[in-house]
Amino acid sequence: MYGMRVALAISLFAIISFSACLMGVKGEENSSEELQERFHSVVGDWLNFFQSNLEWFASTIVGFMKHVLKTIYFAVGLAGFVMWASGFSRYTGKKLIIGAIAMAIVSEILL
């Protein structure tokens, strides 16, 4: 169902773009060349629009992932420290601290 909606939206976009190109072309000389130029400009504008929105979306997702990873490795490190310092489970606490440090290094380098 979702795929049909996307296909319908793309088809509608193509029809509207093509009809917008045809509106100002009737009765002019070199109309096929001007039609092609208008079509290219309309499609180019839409592609630039999608590209800028996709770049914004990608940067937003990366920023969100940085925030989530920082929260996770802080919580894991804190839990490890509490377990290690209280003596509840020194071995597990030490492993959690080491894991949190590894997560911090990897997330800060990769992101």
Give me the helices (H) in 1-89, please. Answer: 2-23, 31-86
Q: What is the pTM of this model?
A: 0.59
Backbone phi, psi, residue 103, to 5°: -65, -40
Q: What's the pLDDT tens digit per position in 11-30?
A: 666 676 666 655 655 555 56
Q: Which of 70, 90, 69, 71 is CA-nearest to residue 80?
A: 90
Q: Three-state DSSP class for 47?
A: helix
37 vs 26, more confident: 37
State what percent of residues in the chain have pLDDT above 90.
Answer: 61
Domain count across the chain? 1
**Could you give the CA distance from residue 70 to residue 80 in angstroms, rounded to a whole number?**
15
User: What is residue 35's predicted lDDT score, i.e. its pLDDT?
Assistant: 87
pLDDT range class, residue 49, cuts 50, 70, 90: very high
Q: What's the pLDDT tens digit per position in 51-91?
A: 999 999 999 999 999 999 999 999 999 999 999 999 999 99
Task: Supply the range of the domain harboring residue 34.
Answer: 2-110
User: What is residue 33's predicted lDDT score, i.e. its pLDDT?
Assistant: 84
